[in-house]
Amino acid sequence: MMEHLYYDAAAMDLLRTTRNTLSNRTGSWRHMRPEFGLKAAACAAACPAGNPIARFMAAASDGRFEEALRELKKENPLPGVCGRVCPRPCEAACNRAEFDEAVGTRAVERLLGDMGAEFGLCLPATMGKTGKRVAVAGSGPAGLSCAYHLALSGHDATVFEAGGEPGGLLRFGIPAYRLPREALDRELGFIDALGINMKTGCRADAALAARLLDEFDAVVAATGALVSPGLGIEGEGLAGYFKGLEFLAAANAGEASGIGKSVIVIGGGNTAVDAARCALRLGAEDVTVMYRRGREDMPASDEEVAEAQEEGVKFVFHAAPAKLVGEGGRLRGVALMRMKPGEPDESGRRKPEPVAGSEREAHADAVIEAAGGRADNPFGRALEVDEWGATDNEKLFVCGDAAPGARTVASAIGGGKRAAIMADVFLRELDIKEVKRKVLVGGNGAASAAAHREGEAAPGADGSVVRFKNVNTAYFSRAARAAKLERLSPEARVAGFDEVSAVCGSAAETARAEASRCFRCGECDDCGNCLVFCPDMSIIGKAAAVGAAPGFDGDYCKGCGICARECPRGVIRMIEEER
């Protein structure tokens, strides 16, 4: 009936296409290509300990705290310590600071570290035993980190500690009000868990040093910089004169006495501030920190200085002692000189010069010298140490304050890790150039021990660091910092050695909220933007591996660069095509 209504398509002679366009390789148009690969976040590149910040933030933002702590422990055995005492170079470098406010990374690290009370040590898997024996002299943060990473790499580590308990500077140098002993001891559980041989009461003197070099397959010196140079002025023999580290060690052991009512601390670093705050807690009423330069040149952390001021510590700048004044062998005060900034020295700071005729006397019952300590390495005073901790002796490595470089706990942890990697390279006879090329986070930062153990490249090892301009902020919304610190009242603080600060709110909620603020720069979280926004269907979905970035189809990708522009976290960058 209706047949006459139909046209015969063949009779109409319509042109018909016969195939799709897959034979048309539009990749030949391309002059730029996307390069995928995990990059280092600015924070990670700035972290001296090499913490995998974006990685643990990803887990913590999901409430997977045990996994987050496990990620952290792959690089750093002491998150509960760093989470308290670190001066936060990560937060200073945080890309989010240019968006609203830097992520409270240290607070998250602290919360995760303390969650170890619930989740246990969360240690990474150890590699098979090598049978190699490594001696580590010193159990401060550098020695501990070194022994930890050596043990994880399958070596037998033996640590020699002069004191009665492991911890070195963490135990005798950092007061309990900043680092409660239970937080330290909990994380030191790894010593037994990893079978590290801890020999306390063993001071590494020259004789022991020689023996270790003789008996062990490799030796690491992490003996610190504990020799006080003294003030070099008249009156250092008077009663009432203390050396900073010795005073701190006595105070931290509960054995300090004879401090009196008025105390002057000479120095501008954290040791000076710690000594002053300890003096207050030991009953001193009038405590002054005296520094020969200005406030802006003070190496002590701003936070420590502010807390000390709240507690009543006074700061006097541009002043230096000329001599200590005593009566009958007992200190009475200090003869001071006013100082003025002169020409810049090698540190770039202006060298203080005394002002003629400015001498006056200040009363003090005690004077604590807290200028920085000097290393006295029992393995050789004039030892040349490179930035990896290697020395001319192929089996001897140096790390921590005994080696050149910044003197923070995080730097010591990073230095210990580098020395452990170098020792591992030596013991396993690995290709040292290859390892050095692959393990540095951001190509220039701390080493990643996890990358070394797994034989992979550290994030951004080729030097690619994600900066704020690489972050696409269209995919993030503004959010105020969730992790804030609350502090005891100044009166409650100076009454004892209770911990001064705590992170506000419930640990789980705060950690999760703060971690959610992290951009997770350089870390692919499978958001799918590159897949969805590719006009040429040329993104190949990512591999199953966690955090692995996707790849691209070179046969068809025209190199438009939308994927790189729309990647929220800078995982993709465009590079010149090689032709």
Partner 1 sequence: MKRARMENELVSKGHVACPGCGAALAMRYVLSVLGPKTIIVLPACCWSVITNRHPECCLEVPVFHTAFETAACVASGVRAALEVKGDNDTNVLAWAGDGGTFDIGLQALSGAAERNDDIIYVCYDNEAYMNTGVQRSSATPWGAWTTTTPATHFKGQEKKNIMEIMAAHRIPYAATASISMPEDLMAKVERARDTRGTRFLHIFCPCPTGWRSSPDLTIELARAAVESRAFPLYEIFDGAKRRLSLDPAPPAPVADYIRPQGRFRHLDSEQIEAIQNRVDEEWLSLLRLIENNPA
Q: Name the residues that contact partner 1, by CB under 8 A.
A: 2, 5, 15-26, 29-30, 474-475, 526-529, 531-533, 535-538, 553, 555-556, 558-562, 564-566, 568, 574
Q: Are 377 and 223 in contact (CB under 8 A)?
A: yes
Shortest approach of partner 1 to residue 17 CB, angstroms?
A: 4
Helix-helix angle 53-61:507-517, to 10 degrees = 120
Shortest approach of partner 1 to residue 23 CB, angstroms?
A: 7
Six-digit token string for 449? 């021990």
Six-digit token string for 146? 């070194």
Shortest approach of partner 1 to residue 536 CB, angstroms?
A: 6
- If the CB atoms of residues 24 and 489 are measured against partner 1, the closer one turns out to be 24
Q: Which of 192, 208, 121 is nearest to 157 (CA)?
A: 192
- If the CB atoms of residues 303 and 566 are measured against partner 1, the closer one turns out to be 566
- If the CB atoms of residues 62 and 526 are measured against partner 1, the closer one turns out to be 526
Shortest approach of partner 1 to residue 571 CB, angstroms?
A: 14
Beta-strand runs (E) in 217-358: 218-221, 241-243, 262-266, 286-290, 314-316, 319-327, 330-344, 350-354
Helix (H, G, I), strand (E, B) or coil at 86: coil
Shortest approach of partner 1 to residue 93 CB, angstroms?
A: 24
The torsion of the CA quartet 41, 43, 49, 52, rounded to 10 degrees, works out to -40
- If the CB atoms of residues 349 and 565 are measured against partner 1, the closer one turns out to be 565
Q: 341-375: buried (b, 16+ CB within 10 Å) or exposed (e) per residue?
A: eeeeeeeeeeebebeeeeeeebebbbbbbbbbbeb
Shortest approach of partner 1 to residue 21 CB, angstroms?
A: 3
Q: Are strands 286-290 and 465-466 parallel, antiparallel or unpaired?
A: unpaired
Shortest approach of partner 1 to residue 577 CB, angstroms?
A: 12
Shortest approach of partner 1 to residue 189 CB, angstroms?
A: 39
CB atoms under 10 Å from CB of 405, counted, come to 16
Give, in order, the Cα–Cα distances in Å from 367 to each of 229, 279, 327: 15, 10, 14
Q: What sign does the CA torsion over 287, 290, 294, 300 have?
A: negative
- If the CB atoms of residues 368 and 513 are measured against partner 1, the closer one turns out to be 513
- If the CB atoms of residues 246 and 566 are measured against partner 1, the closer one turns out to be 566
- If the CB atoms of residues 95 and 538 are measured against partner 1, the closer one turns out to be 538
The backbone region for 214, taken as left when phi is positive above 0, alpha when psi lies in -120 to 50, beta otherwise, is: alpha
- If the CB atoms of residues 376 and 553 are measured against partner 1, the closer one turns out to be 553
Q: Are 146 and 217 in contact (CB under 8 A)?
A: no
Shortest approach of partner 1 to residue 44 CB, angstroms?
A: 22
The torsion of the CA quartet 549, 552, 557, 559, rounded to 10 degrees, works out to 40
According to DSSP, the residues that pair with 487 across neighbouring strands are 501
- If the CB atoms of residues 24 and 444 are measured against partner 1, the closer one turns out to be 24
Shortest approach of partner 1 to residue 525 CB, angstroms?
A: 9
- If the CB atoms of residues 22 and 125 are measured against partner 1, the closer one turns out to be 22
